Structure 1
Amino acid sequence: MKLTAVFKPLILCLLAASCYTSTVHAYGGLPDLGGNGFSVLTPEKEKQLGDVMMRQTRGSLPMVYDPLMDEYINALGNRMVARANDVKFPFKFYWIQDKNINAFATLGGNIASHTGTLAIADSESEFASVISHEIAHVTQRHIARFVEAQSQNAPLTLAGLLAAIVIATVNPEAGMAAMAATQGAAQQSAINFTRSNEQEADRIGMQVMADAGFDPYAVPDFFRKLAEQSRFVNQQLAFLQTHPLSQSRVSDTRLRAEQFSKRFIPDSQDFSLIKARVLARYQYDKQHSETVFLKKLGQPGGNTKANQYGLAIALFDNNKLDEAKKLIEKLLQDDKHNLYYIDVYTDILIAQGEYQQSLDMLEQQYLLRPNNQVVTLNYANAALSAKAYRLAIHLLKSLLFYKDDNILAYSMLADAYKEMEDLPRFYEARADLSYQLANYPKAIDNIDEALNYLQPEEKLEARRLEAKKKQLQAEFSRLQRM
């Protein structure tokens, strides 16, 4: 599905726009920390704080809300989580739209990767090595131990600490400055804490990825590539700032890899297609993307389905619909249920005004895979385009019943209610969207707007919204006091 709106990063203060820690239908889940400082971070508290941090991150960074990419990274990540020890809570994986190479973990099993990290990976195992390393940071509780250590060294506020850690994972220098401002004097910087744990994360991460069926030799290969790239830029790569790379560390990973038997592990088709998608949509400029994929296809061995798919995306994004359609139709002939192809093909049909054909195709896929977010969101998008708003609302509400943090679904739901001129439901959907983007004040304002548009006879609905507003206010006040 081609997104018609890009979610821009919101420049929000953590105290002015904090985060929810449960679903939009359940409130009051914030951990009781017992004051401004805390010395023991239990797994339950870590998970709750991790949710706070991730919602703050989603509200302040350019996240990618692409269902195909979301499915891919969560499938790959959880494949390795299933092989890890000391897993205390479910993991979630996210994308950040950034051409630089970086990835980071926050408390509670939330892991994010820059799109640029996958773009540079020459194999699925190289990308898996980055994700497995972050998984190890979480399972070994490196970040949790850092939080505990900081609380013992200096008086902290929850808001200041979380904000500093979020910043440090993305911009180390700014993060250290924020930590210093929070504590009066930085007792131990986030980057120094990370250095002391990198070797352990390398060791455990390599074992996890090997157990999950990936190539452990990809770890030193990826490190070597990063070291070489870093030599040719003025500033150290973001990944190397948060994950310092010494020569001894490279040597150590090479020796560890040699303990595993060498075997050929091919990339999955999903990796090849998702990389083509990332390159076409997030790494190359739109005008340049078409030229790049045409060149790839003309090289020896380059006429692959992945490169054809990447070219189809580039053609579509440059409004060359007929050319893109021919390419995708050819790919669909050999793989008619492939969601990567269906996603682009139905977008082309919608752009050409062939709404019913798009709806019919997606209806068949929905009957086969009713709980798949890629199918459901594409189907809802086609319904919105065809002005079948009630169908779109039904699909989106069904999706949100079991995936209640889906940003794109809330945005589309708001659009559907707006088109139907159902303003109370429109503003409530906007409130839920603000909730997920960590903007408390906006969420409360939208609930007020929803209440203003209710009819006098809708007393039960008014009571429900008033109760929801009070929960928001109470939770927001509690966060401000921490």
Structure 2
Amino acid sequence: MSSLRRRCAAAALALLVVLPTHAYESPLPDLGDTSSEGLSASDERQIGASVMRELRRSGMLLDDPELTAYVNQLGGRLVDASEDARASFTFLPLRDPSVNAFAVPGGVIAVHSGLIVMAQHESELASVLAHEIAHVTQHHIARMIESQRVTPWMTLAALGLAILAAHAGHGDMAAAAAAAGPAMAIQRQLDFTYGFEQEADRIGMQTLTRAGFDPSAMPVFFDRLQKHNRLVENNAPEFLRTHPVTYKRIADAQARLKDMPYRQVPDSQDFLFMREKARVLQGDQRTMLDFYAKTLSEGRFANRAAHLYGYALAQLRNRDFAGAQKSLDGARTAYGRAHPALEYLQGQLLLAQGRPVEAAAQLKQAAQRFPGSRALVYGEIDARLAAGQLNDALALTHDAQELYPSDAELYQREAKAYQGLGNAQRQHAAQAEYYVRLLEYTAAIEQLQIAQRQPGDDFYLLSRIEARLRELQQDDESQRRKAGKPSSLDSSQALPAQPQPPVEVGAPTNARSTSRYRSGSGGMPWR
């Protein structure tokens, strides 16, 4: 059993003591009123942070800048249309061929790649995200916990991992958890889940309509999910499913359409391209090559440009560079104009061929044409790092950090640039900011401590490193005290004292550095 599965199993068993089988039967519903005694807003954020950390550690995250940007753009459009959305949301694509999505307190919504692939239209995918957003805005988990009369802090340490046990494809653990509670408790919790599902359907459909999508996509997709679950899960009891889709839910959704005008909403090209990318990234290389070759030869595709794009991706993964270029050129011709997904793939193809200078020039031009594409910015930075253009890569990274100060990947790239330039202090300081954005505070503190030990005579840089270290240690201690955890510091270990600046002749003794300092997730300029 892997370390992740051991952690998930232990957490799941711990959670069963508190919430018998509840977390395994619902798609992680939402929390009702923020004044609920079950979970506070701070509790919700901690649960969401815990889940994001474990998802990253598990390797389940589909770490692709384009797919991540797409699901967040789509989710953001729906959040904007939701009347009850007051918290910030994060949408995470997972590499998992199962058709599923789940919501977590704190506005975290995970989307399985299988869901993206199975959606025949963008409105269908949007309908599931709208449903999950409703789970969060209605605070269903807080209401679940309140109904159990459970102290919320009893659940915080285990809830994130228990969620993973139910949703990470570990069916044996999920089944064991479901079987652990008495039958009466299972039935009572199942009834409670149905009520939340119906509420999320109703509010989600309203959000879907306000966001400009086709509301009829919800019952259509539910019906297809019902058939899919029946085939895939072999009629397993509904309480073992994360999203119990019933004929009553489908009928209810169809009934809500009676007073709504028919609306045909075309799919965006972003959806069509990203659906193929999700298909390729979740599939086996050889299987994907055969799939695209066969469907293209038989003409079985909905959008030729997107299908050729998927084929080019599959060929690139198989290092068939000539084939990938031919398919990509065909996708460009079929689409008839430029698109950031096509430009990014062209840059990745040039990089894979060992042509970083050409890739950097091509991606720079594309980024100027599509300034909203962060993937193109990543691509140009990576190309310049590969070409040895380290100062140019660093300048690009710093410019992007001004626009996206919470973007962890930019700080990872900054660390790589400083490593290439031989500046170990700034390298480890930037790596610390990367870990801060991944909510891995122990690793961030370790990186800053390493940075302290590196040679260098820049007093003000060292001052900023030590100030940041002090800030993170204080935050970490505060969180540990709140959670009732032991201190991470020995009784003899003190937080680092802030160094006093060198006093120049004629200068006031209270002189301060004039360099910029952005506290919190905004980070620090290691320049």
Letter in 1 for 2:102: F
Does 2:69 match 1:71? yes
Structure ranking higher on relative contact order (CA contacts 8 Å, 6+ apart): 1
Mark the CA change 1:361 to 1:458 in structure 2 (over 3 Å): closer, same or farther: same
What are the equivalent positions in structure 2 for 1:77-226 lying under 5 Å apart? 77-149=75-147, 152=150, 156=154, 158-165=156-163, 167-168=165-166, 194-226=193-225
Please name the residue that 1:451 is paired with.
452
Q: Residue 386 of structure 1: CA displacement?
A: 1.0
More moved, 401-410 vs 114-123? 401-410
d(CA) in 2 for partners of 1:421 and 1:173? 49
Report the secondary structure of 1:87's partner residue: coil
TM-score by length of 2: 0.75
Q: Is the aligned partner of 1:296 residue 2:306? A: no
Contact 1:43/1:88 (8 A) holds in 2: no
Separation of aligned partners in 1, 2:279 and 2:266: 20
Which residue identity does 1:310 align to in structure 2? G
1:380 equivalent to 2:381? Answer yes
The answer as to whether partners of 2:100 and 2:112 remain within 8 angstroms in 1 is yes
Shift of 1:459: 2.5
Deviation at 1:10, TM superposition (A): 11
| Secondary structure of 1:156's aligned partner | helix
How much does 1:477 deviate? 2.7
| Residue in 2 that maps onto 1:5 | none
- SS of the counterpart of 1:127? helix
The 2-side partners of 1:311 and 1:155 are apart by 49
Confirm or deny: 8 A CA contact 1:53 1:107 kept in the other structure. no
Q: Counterpart in 2 of 1:260?
A: 260
CA contact (8 A) 2:205 2:215 kept: yes
> Residue 232 of structure 1: SS of its match in structure 2?
helix
In structure 2, C-alpha distance between the alignment counterparts of 1:327 and 1:340, rounded to whole Å: 14
CA contact (8 A) 2:276 2:310 kept: yes
- The one-character-per-residue Cα deviations of 1:161-206 (angstroms, maximum 9, x if unpaired) are 454456556569857988999xxxx999987754331100001111
Q: 1:155 to 1:338 in 2, by over 3 A?
A: closer
CA separation of 1:397/1:308 partners in 2, compared to 1, >3 Å: closer, same or farther?
Answer: same
Larger CA deviation: 327-336 vs 414-423: 327-336
- Which consecutive unaligned segments of at least 5 residues does structure 1 have? 1-7, 14-37
- CA–CA separation in structure 2 for the residues paired with 1:348 and 1:298: 24
Distance 1:212 1:277, change over 3 A: same
Q: Please report how far the alpha carbon of residue 42 of structure 1 lies from its aligned counterpart in structure 2 after TM superposition.
A: 5.3
SS at structure 1 position matched to 2:92: strand
8 Å Cα contact 2:285/2:318 also seen in 1: yes
Relative distance call for 1:129 and 1:12 in structure 2 (3 A) is: same
**Counterparts of 2:4 and 2:373, CA distance in 1:** 27
Rounded to whole Å, the distance in 2 between the matches of 1:436 and 1:146 is 30
Q: How big is the alpha-carbon RMSD for the aligned residues of Structure 1 and Structure 2?
A: 3.5
Please say if residues 12 and 60 of structure 1, whose CA atoms lie closer than 8 Å, have aligned partners that are also in contact.
no
Distance 2:178 2:400 in 1: 39
Moved more, 137-146 or 39-48: 39-48
Task: Look up the equivalent residue of 1:293 and give its one-letter code.
Answer: Y
Change beyond 3 A, Cα 1:10–1:177: closer
Aligned to 1:111, the other structure's residue is in SS state: strand
Matched with 2:33 is none
Note the C-alpha offset of 1:362. 1.9
Deviates more, 1:286-295 or 1:403-412: 403-412
Contact in 2 for aligned 1:100/1:238 (Cα 8 Å): no
Are 2:340 and 1:339 aligned? Answer: yes
Q: Tell me the CA shift for residue 229 of structure 1.
A: 2.0
Q: Which structure has the bigger radius of gyration?
A: 2
Partner of 1:34: none
Amino-acid identity (%): 33
1:248-287, CA deviations, whole angstroms, 9 ceiling, x for partnerless residues? Answer: 22222222234433343322211111111111222x2111
Structure 2 equivalent of residue 20 of structure 1: none
TM-score normalized with structure 1 length: 0.82
Match of 2:229 in 1: 230
Aligned residue identity for 1:324: A
CA pair 198-234 structure 1, distance change in 2 beyond 3 A:
closer
Given the alignment of the two structures, is residue 250 of structure 1 paired with residue 250 of structure 2, yes or no?
yes
List gaps (5 residues or longer) in structure 2.
9-35, 484-527
